[in-house]
Amino acid sequence: MSSLALHVADKRPEDPADLTGFYAGLLAVLNDAALNHHGWTGSVVADLGEIGGYVYMKIRPGEGDEPFATIEDLRAFRKRQAEEARRTEEASKQARLI
């Protein structure tokens, strides 16, 4: 039986210069578990957020020939998240005008 998703959380570093390494480390932990403990052949970022200074990340198995998620994939995911948040906010503002 295969895992549907893997999650990890850790305290966000205070120094912004440490963020890229921090996120890369979270991905490394998840991808290692996906490969070595669950036999996945690839992964995709499924969720990312922050609660109370702790960052959480979720991956799910990749589809087809997708490789394991990278920091570039995470950046693309965050960009999509931000765009969706903007669209949701704009739709909310429009609804309040009606």
The parent domain of residue 61 ranges over 6-97
Tallying the residues shown for the chain, one arrives at 98
Mean pLDDT value across residues 58-78: 93
Query: Residue 45, exposed/middle/buried by CB under 10 A (0-12, 13-18, 19+)?
Result: buried
Mean pLDDT value across residues 88-96: 74
List the helix and strand counts (H, then E) for the chain.
2, 3
- pLDDT band for position 92 (cuts 50, 70, 90): confident
Whose CA is closest to 77, among 92, 93, 58?
A: 58
In a domain, 1, yes or no: no
Question: What Rg do the C-alpha atoms of the chain give, in angstroms?
Answer: 16
Reported as a single tens digit per residue, the pLDDT across 1-20 is: 456 899 999 999 999 999 99
Give how many domains the chain has, as a whole number: 1
- pLDDT band for position 48 (cuts 50, 70, 90): very high
Contact 11, 54 (CB under 8 A): yes
In a domain, 40, yes or no: yes
In a domain, 66, yes or no: yes
